[in-house]
Chains A and B, each alone.
Chain A
Amino acid sequence: MKWVLLTFIFTIATVLTGCEPLMVLDPKGPQAETQAKDIMLSIGIMSFIVLVVFAILIFMLTKYRASKQSKDYEPPHIEGNIWVETICVGIPVLIVIFLSIVSVQSNNIVEATPKGYGDKEPLIIYASSSNWKWHFSYPEENIETVNYLYIPTDRPIEFKLYSYGPITSFWIPQLGGQKYAMSDMVNTLHLAADVPGEYMGRNANFSGKGFAENTFNVKAMSEDKFDDWVKEVKKTAKPLTEEKFAKLLEPGHLGQSTYTGTHLEFLPPPEGENGGHNHGSSHSSKAEKHDNSSETSSESEHHHQ
């Protein structure tokens, strides 16, 4: 038992402090940072609980083994003890209350415009999935990419997620946790990148045969570089036509490609924010302001639960 425990702690220690940090614990943006902090905090508290349980178990096993006792020892009848039970309930309750407070705070943080970016105009990107690709539409810039994403650093990004097929989940671990993209509604995910770099993005929700390769590359760069890239795309890329987009939607894998114009014009996303399927979302009013398609959201009475 002791041996197992030691190996376990040792592995955790080496990995967590080790040379190559685990992706989720190596955040490059404020949302991922909030999440990584929560994860480390809960690992700390939970390790304490695990240690307590291990310690009590080892104590009981070393002290009360039959082989260590006299033959005629008769264990007593013990119903319980109000103090012991109060402690066994009380401490977990306190821990759960503490974690609940942390959790509620973090929920509000990850559902809002990233901290410290409040004064900046968010960049809106529509990310839609089709079997097994990602389409990124930049309505402001009027361009669209397939299977890769360029974003400026130091600017909040608002992803509008939806799907042309099965439920998928849009995930860039180093920028923040995932959210579902569904065919009947538009979901909003707030992310931001602090540091320029290349990040892995993927669909995390199983969506059939091509799921494993359902990935995309994310490149975060300074705002100037981003603007240069947009200009460049406008100069060199071909326009996205309806026929072309219909082709792109066909099931299968594709490499990366770039277009001027977006498919939002001829194939709008599921109506409005939440597409008539209001899950009871509480988007920040800020987000609402920038999203001119949001009028319908307040009228939506459709609940899933």
Chain B
Amino acid sequence: MDFFDRFAIPHASPAIYASMVAIGLTVIAIIAGLTYFKKWGYLWREWLTTVDHKRIGIMYLISALLMLFRGGVDAIMMRAQLAVPDNKLLDAQHYNEIFTTHGIVMIIFMAMPFIMALMNFVVPLQIGARDVAFPRLNALSFWLFFMGAMLFNISFVIGGSPDAGWTSYFPLAGTEFSESVGSNYYMIAIQIAGLGTLMTGINFITTILKMRAPGMKLMKMPMFTWASLVTNAIIVFAFPVLTVLLAMGTMDRLFGTHFFTTTNGGMDMLWANFFWVWGHPEVYILILPAFGIYSEVISTFARRNLYGYKSMVGSMVIISLLSFLVWTHHFFTMGQGALTNSIFSITTMAIAVPTGVKLFNWLFTLWKGKIEITTPMLYSLLFIPTFTIGGVTGVMLGMSAADYQYHNTMFLVAHFHMVIIPGVVFAMLAGLTFYWPKMFGFMLNEKIGKLSAWIIATSTLLAFVPMFFSGLDGQARRMYTYSESTGFGPWNMVSFIGAAGLAVGFALIVYNIYYSTRYASRDISSDPWDARSLEWATHTPVPEYNFAILPQVKSSEAFWDAKKHGHELFQGEYEKIHMPNNSGVPFILSCIFFVWGFSFVFSLWIPLILTTIGIFVCMAYRSFEKDHGHYITVAEIEETENNLRGA
């Protein structure tokens, strides 16, 4: 291939040219805007170099929302293509790229940063800490994720997107069958983002174990913190597998090794096994923080303590262990025999038990409560029935003999969307609405919020329930077209209407943000929901140091006890507070990583060597740097606290 040919898009279509222009114009507009309003300094000082967990959380949130729309556009295009038989909207190649990027964007670049956003913002506040254990590492995690996402997102305008499915099974994803650089992007972009995630895992485990407020024993941690702890433990065990796997895949594609090829002893199923050894725990990395959010929201708006706290914790620990023992259910059909299938069938169905325990605990949290249906609560209540449908169909998939019929069909697609959307997306939207006032100092409009919750929930059912039927009627997943005679047409039409409904629901959320930014009252208390745990004991906006005095904790609902039982949270005098300094290194290092990744994707060896050196220079710089942070004096604290109290 000629040098420049590699950068060309393999199948240019008007849609891609249009997006190219749109991307160019947006970039120019942003640069011009920043220059015109003289915001470069502000951007650099307050955001690009920040090590404040709250700001990092907000940056994760913005990225996740952007990616939700990127993935959403892909989804709409897919459903539009399948809405009628023999549709000519997209060709096979384009469709393959779209479902591949949809899957990766949604799982890796939307759901992951969404949970990271809430974890970053909430966990330190909830445990009464001033920051995470390694603030600068935290910034690096974010920027690595961000650069990974950006690298992945330029694939469709430079060189072509991956087209072998988000599972990227070899040999299909090897150079023999997938010639464009698309799968290189897959390997490298996910690798870069994954490194960030692994660091987050270590960072948050340390934070939660070491930085809890005085008195907060493990069994007194709020449920979201528990969920985060378990999640990060899974991350630390699962992500190294992904790292190694992607490295092997990269070597197969770029250096001619034969780990997964059809020839020279390559083992195709080795990829599948490793992928799912990471991949199945990954789905629990997504769902457990969501479960944590639901626990907070449901007990807050049932105005009651969480029912069965201990069994909630226990079931999460069991789920985290079992999640590593079920990966083979993703390829019951690879011919491993009845015995192996039986074992994995049983472990798979066993996960339903602790999951069921959690569902019943939420239901019993409503018992004798005083249920108030706010937007976050509405999402949580809609989650229960929809997720149950998703969950029980998971048990059905777990029966391996029957899975021979479901595997690779729309039935599977229906199942995992019915768990991921109510499970993860509803939770994130609930969390977004719940924590919005703490993040930004005003509430989102409840009327619009509830309307969007209803639209999203009904559209989810419309979009995915038909797939259970078309799957049982023989519609395989990932088919870009089908003929009239199959009879899949009506099912897919309903699905398309549902998908369009989802788009309306998400658009409404954006409108809500716009509307509330303009019109919502800024005069709200620091505890607008009458909530229960420590994050609500802070001022709004939360000062840089979170808590002027570290709280004394007696229960998992310390703030509630303080409000209702007169328990004194903040005892003692102000003392000077030590805080970390901002640093440009994480951002610069990640920019270098971006160029490094790009060079790798296109086998540009000289830039690759230079950026590799650059990465090590940054790390060396950091290790010789003398930076002991700074102190906030008592006078400054007093001033801030008085101002905030006055507000």
Binding site for B on A (CB under 8 A): 1, 4-5, 8, 11, 15, 20, 22-25, 32, 34-36, 38-39, 42-43, 46, 49-50, 53-54, 56-57, 60-61, 64-66, 69, 73-80, 84-85, 88-89, 92-93, 96, 99-100, 102-104, 106-111, 131, 161, 164-167, 169, 171, 173, 176-180, 182-185, 187-188, 200, 202-212, 274, 277, 279-283, 304-305
- Cβ of B214 within 8 Å of any chain A Cβ, yes or no, is no
B458 within 8 A of A: yes
In the assembled complex, how far is the CB of residue A66 from the closest CB belonging to chain B, in whole angstroms?
5
Q: Is B331 an interface residue (CB 8 A)?
A: yes
Task: Please list 21 pairs of residues, one from A and one from B, whose beta carbons are closer than 8 Å in the complex, sorted by A's number.
Answer: A4-B458, A8-B465, A24-B405, A36-B405, A57-B385, A64-B366, A64-B370, A69-B370, A78-B305, A80-B309, A89-B356, A96-B352, A96-B353, A166-B171, A166-B177, A177-B407, A179-B333, A184-B262, A208-B177, A212-B92, A305-B340
List of B residues within 8 angstroms of A61 by Cβ = 366, 371, 381
Name B's A-contacting residues (CB within 8 A). 92-93, 96, 163-165, 169, 171-172, 177-178, 262, 266-270, 272-273, 302-305, 307-311, 328, 331, 333-342, 345-346, 349-350, 352-353, 356-357, 359-361, 363-364, 366-373, 381, 384-385, 388-389, 392-393, 395-396, 398-409, 458, 461, 465, 469, 472-474, 476-482, 487
What CA separation (Å) do A118 and B392 show in the bound complex? 35
Partner of B302, one of A64, A100, A131, A178: A64
Kindly state the separation between the CA atoms of A15 and B481 in the bound complex, as whole angstroms: 23
Question: How far, in angstroms, from A23 to B349 measured CA to CA in the complex?
Answer: 25
Residues in B with CB closer than 8 Å to A77 are 304-305
Chain A residue with minimal CB distance to B476?
A: A204
* Nearest A residue (CB) for B351: A96
CB neighbours of A281 from chain B (8 A): 335-337
Q: Identify which of B171, B370, B398 contacts A167 (C-beta below 8 A).
A: B171
Closest Cβ of chain A to B269, distance in Å, is 5
Q: Is B328 a contact partner of A75 (Cβ separation < 8 A)?
A: no
Q: State A209–B95 Cα separation when bound (angstroms).
A: 9
The count of A-to-B residue pairs whose CB atoms sit within 8 angstroms is 308
Q: Are A75 and B302 in contact (CB under 8 A)?
A: yes
Contact partner of A165 (CB less than 8 A), chosen from B171, B385, B465, is B171
With the chains together, A75 CA to B404 CA distance in Å? 49
In Å, the complex CA distance between A282 and B406 comes to 22
Across-interface contacts of A176 in B (CB, < 8 A): 404-405
How distant is the Cα of A107 from the Cα of B338 in the complex, in angstroms? 5
What residues of chain A lie closer than 8 Å to B393, measured between beta carbons? 46
Query: Using Cβ atoms and an 8 Å threshold, which residues of chain B touch A210?
Result: 92
Most buried by A among B359, B361, B402: B402
Known interface pairs A39-B396, A46-B395, A96-B349; A166-B368 also in contact (CB < 8 Å): no
Known contacts A46-B395, A305-B273, A305-B328; 8 further A-B pairs (Cβ under 8 A): A57-B385, A78-B364, A104-B338, A111-B337, A177-B403, A209-B93, A209-B96, A283-B337
**B268-A66 in contact (CB<8A):** no
In the complex, chain B residues whose CB is within 8 Å of the CB of A69? 370
Query: What's the least CB distance linking B98 to chain A, in Å?
Result: 13
- Give every chain A residue within 8 A of B385 (Cβ-Cβ): 1, 4-5, 50, 53-54, 57
Interface residue from B328, B356, B404 paired with A178 (Cβ < 8 Å): B404
Query: Closest residue of chain B to A283, judged by CB?
Result: B337
Q: Is A206 in contact with B335, judged by CB distance below 8 angstroms?
A: no
Query: Are the C-beta atoms of B407 and A84 separated by less than 8 Å?
Result: no
* A23-B345 contact, Cβ under 8 Å, with A166-B171, A279-B269, A279-B340: no
CB–CB B368/A211 < 8 A:
no
How many Å from the CB of A176 to the closest CB on chain B?
Answer: 7
Q: Is the CB of B368 within 8 A of A75?
A: yes
User: How far, in angstroms, from A298 to B255 measured CA to CA in the complex?
Assistant: 35
**How far, in whole Å, are A305 and B267 apart by their CA atoms in the complex?**
11
In the complex the two chains form, is B396's CB within 8 Å of A78's CB?
no
- Chain B residues, Cβ within 8 Å of A20: 487
Q: How far is the CA of A1 from the CA of B268 in the complex (A)?
A: 46
Flag if A84 contacts B268 (CB, 8 Å): no
Which B residues touch A203, using CB under 8 A? 476
Q: Across the interface, do A107 and B356 meet the contact criterion of CB distance under 8 Å?
A: no
Residue pair A179, B370 in contact (C-beta under 8 Å): no
Whole-angstrom distance between the Cβ of A2 and the nearest chain B Cβ: 11
Provide the bound-state CA to CA distance between A76 and B365, in Å: 11
Evaluate contact between B172 and A208: CB separation under 8 angstroms: yes
Q: Which residues of B contact A42 (CB under 8 A)?
A: 395-396, 399, 402
